Chains A and B, each alone.
Chain A
Amino acid sequence: MTTKQTKSWVTALTGMIVLMVTSINAQAFESMKVGDWDVDFSGNINGFFTNVDCDPNGNGVVAGGLACGSNGTDRTVGSVQTGLLPSWFGFHAKHESDNITTEINIGFQPGIDGGSQSNSLDGPLQNNSENLRVVNLKFGSDWGTLMIGRDIGIFGSDALLADMTLLGVGTVSDLTAGGGNTTLGRIGVGYLYADWKAQIQYSSPTWEGFSFAVALVDPWGLAGLSGDSLNSGSFDQQADTYGFEGKAVYKFGGADGSTVSGKVWASFIRQSLDSSSLPGQDATGFDVGVKVGLNDLELVGYFYSGDGIGTTGFLLDAVDLSGNTRDSDGFYVQGTYKFPGAGTKVGISFGESNLDLAAGEAASTLVKTNESFIIGLYHPLTSSLNLVLEYSNTEATAHNGNSADENTIAIGAILFY
């Protein structure tokens, strides 16, 4: 979507809000029923001061590393930027008729940093942009819900949504140091980015806490962060192939004030990689996760593994220059405690993502492990406004032994509306 188109959408939706607010004397952004439609505008604005101290340990770059590794120089980068959660303007409308529920969702994600001072990527992580990550329709009934459009991918999404840094910053990295639409949180240091994908997704009803979802996904393309990998030019992701993702979830406790609540989940991702010049490959991965709440204590454990799925994002550095897939895995563990009364949450987490060499591939500066340790303090000043203080240490190690560190202090706020 071009900037001009985005502005047109924003203008149109803003006009709708003004019209509604002025014509019915409603409180802005309150969930309303207009005719038979439930209409809701929602989202957030967030911003953080980040100070990133990069230390390449004096031994060269880590290609594809998330700890300032690609630069290889000792430096400090300061920014005022958006955190892991993109600022969001979401429009949501729901209608029920004849036992069929229909919904539409449109969500814009404007970043607060308008300048690109460092590396940039295409796609949802691109700098200096207004993203349009959510455009979908849903309809469903007792048989479940069908979603058609762009929405978050299934694989890795529960790991991301359970990440405490969702309200904060987490790892900044070369990708977003100095500005970018979002930081990385624990993306690439514990789980693979779920991304926002065009898809047709079926999600089941919930049976005693159990549910599942499957999706046919627009095929994804190879990309190489490291320079040691094939990109989409070698594998035609627009050939006769699709992506498939799915998950099963069991939720327990929760809405009854029970002491124990949480969920366990498992998901998969699969996509064929077709090429006219190289043997075809398959990218296949799975993950499992557990999230358990015991009163004010919450624990999360997550693990993923795959072949040809890459690291940091799906199909990033997934295939070496000879066309062979690389294995990858990762995990994170997290514990948070919410102080009763004040509601202040303190959290600690550790995670890593590993990328193996392909069969016959020689050791190089290609990243082997990205890992991070994060401590965060999240204080709800109101039900809408959270103040955030985070420290994170991210370390990247290459297959040839090179390493780099990144220490980040982040202070900021996120306001939901």
Chain B
Amino acid sequence: MPRPGQVAGLLVGYLFAFLTCLPSAYAASNSVIWERGDQIVKLVRQDDDSAAPNDHPTSMTADEIEAMLETLRLRYADEDPGGVPVHVFTQTDIENLGKALAIGLGRAAPSQDLIFHVIGARRLSRGAFARRNRVCAGRVFYRDGNLNIIFGQIQSPYRKKNVYGQIDEDFYPRNYGNRTTATKHDVVLLPNATASLYQSSGGVRDDWIVIKPGVAAAASSPDANPELALATTGATAAATVEATANTSTAASANANETASGRTEDASTPSLAADLEQRLKALKRLRERDLISENAYQAKMKEILQDL
């Protein structure tokens, strides 16, 4: 059995390994942009060494970023595609992220991304006293004139394990998303006039959204009054988002929260949406078993009535 001398040798070995790793570890830890409680925005190295360099640093204002985030909507996968979309982020999330991401993008190197996780409280039911905490986590970078967000978690349950009185370990591992493998979510991110799903030769990434800054800023202004293009998630959604009118602002949407804890959005479907694209998107949802056969048939009938 080892004696203290041998143990000391082992500890020295550990220490050597630690010191060897220290420079990179320090660099990694020396990059927190914003931290509050269990929420964070942090600079990290790109997750894929073969990825093209980002266009960092870049100058964007907090207001610009907030405007972009406010346009983002989602729908729960178990719902009829005609259902009402909800905000991805709460207003508090948007304000916190807007400020932190603006600072982070201004500091980031081309080889760095920003990762974030924020915890938003969503009302359990309309007017309910109690709210449910939800986590959004992801990876942000600016490239080719677009703000990219890869979501690892979207409104995931926020739970902590109590291990010997220490309440700091997540029940579900934090996931910041990555460029190489798509993360499957229980929600469907909805492209809109300002944001599209990332499309590559490998297909469309349902967890990766690309936002045009200038368009987003204009779209989020009350005067522009953009509309979310509903039921257009899917293979061709990225290329077919239309900016048509008639919607509520993000602020008004935040005020409307449903019994399921999901935020209502007063947007209505785009009448100008291309029927073929809508049918393709609908078919894709059915093929991925995100909607029931009955919902698929009903929605298809509804779309065809527009012919």
Question: Which residues of A are in contact with B by a Cβ distance under 8 Å?
Answer: 20, 24-26, 30-35, 38, 40, 42-44, 85, 88, 90, 92, 96, 101, 105, 107, 133-134, 151-152, 160-161, 166, 208-209, 251-253, 255-258, 260-262, 264, 288, 290, 292, 299, 301, 303, 329, 331, 333, 350, 352, 371, 383-384, 416
Contact = CB atoms under 8 A, between A and B. Distances in A.
Nearest to B137: A255
B83 interface: no
Interface residues of B, number: 52
B47 interface: yes
Interface of B: 1-2, 4, 7-8, 10-11, 14-15, 17-18, 21-22, 24-26, 28-31, 37, 40, 42, 44-45, 47, 115, 121, 124-125, 128-133, 157-167, 171-172, 174, 176, 178
Contacts of A329: 4
Contact of A30 (B2, B159, B161, B167): B159
The 4 closest A-B CB pairs, nearest first, are A252-B25, A42-B162, A256-B44, A33-B131
Contacts of A24: 124-125, 128-130
B166 A161 contact: yes
Contacts of B167: 40, 42, 90, 92, 105
B129 A34 contact: yes
10 contacts: A32-B131, A90-B165, A152-B165, A161-B166, A166-B163, A209-B25, A258-B45, A261-B25, A331-B7, A416-B162
Contacts of A38: 133
Contacts of A44: 162-163
Contacts of A383: 171-172
Contact of B174 (A30, A134, A255, A258): A255
Nearest to A369: B1
Contacts, number: 152
Contacts of A262: 18
A260 B14 CA distance: 13
A32 B121 CA distance: 8
A26 B2 CA distance: 54
Contacts of A161: 163-164, 166
A25 B97 CA distance: 31
Contact of B24 (A90, A258, A264, A301): A258
A33 B128 CA distance: 11
A52 to B, nearest CB: 21
A343 to B, nearest CB: 10
B1 A252 contact: no
- Chain A interface helix/strand/loop/mixed: strand
B165 A151 contact: yes
B160 A42 contact: yes
A103 B160 CA distance: 15
B130 A32 contact: yes
Q: Which of B11, B29, B42, B128 has the most CB of A within 10 A?
A: B29
A252 B22 contact: yes
Contact of B28 (A35, A105, A134, A258): A258
A258 B162 contact: no
A299 B130 contact: no
Contacts of B133: 31-33, 38
Given A26-B130, A256-B28, A105 B165 contact: yes
Contacts of A31: 132-133, 157-160
B126 to A, nearest CB: 12
B125 A333 contact: no
A257 B47 CA distance: 8
B164 A152 contact: yes
B124 A352 contact: no
Contact of A26 (B28, B37, B124): B124
Nearest to A382: B171
A30 B129 CA distance: 15
Contacts of B42: 255-256
Contact of A290 (B14, B44, B162, B165): B14
Contacts of B176: 256-257
Contacts of A151: 165
Contacts of B30: 208
A40 B129 contact: no
A151 B171 CA distance: 22
B69 to A, nearest CB: 21
Q: Which of B28, B42, B166 has the most CB of A within 10 A?
A: B28
Given A31-B158, A43-B162, A383-B171, A257 B130 contact: no
Contacts of B44: 256-258
A330 to B, nearest CB: 9
Contacts of A152: 164-165
A303 B7 contact: yes
Contacts of B157: 30-31
A303 B14 CA distance: 12
Contacts of B171: 383-384, 416
Contacts of B10: 301, 333
A399 B10 CA distance: 26
Nearest to B260: A25
A288 B11 contact: yes
A30 B172 CA distance: 13
A100 to B, nearest CB: 13
Nearest to B32: A208
A252 B28 CA distance: 8
A208 B130 contact: no
Contacts of B130: 20, 24, 26, 32-34
Nearest to A43: B162
A303 B11 contact: yes
A42 B132 contact: no
A333 B6 CA distance: 11
A208 B1 contact: no
Nearest to B161: A416
Contacts of B163: 44, 85, 161, 166, 416
A371 B6 CA distance: 15
Contacts of A40: 160, 167
A251 B29 CA distance: 8
B246 to A, nearest CB: 33
B25 A258 contact: yes
Contacts of A257: 44, 47, 115, 176, 178
A66 B130 CA distance: 49
A288 B12 CA distance: 11
A26 B133 CA distance: 12
Contacts of A25: 124-125
B221 to A, nearest CB: 31
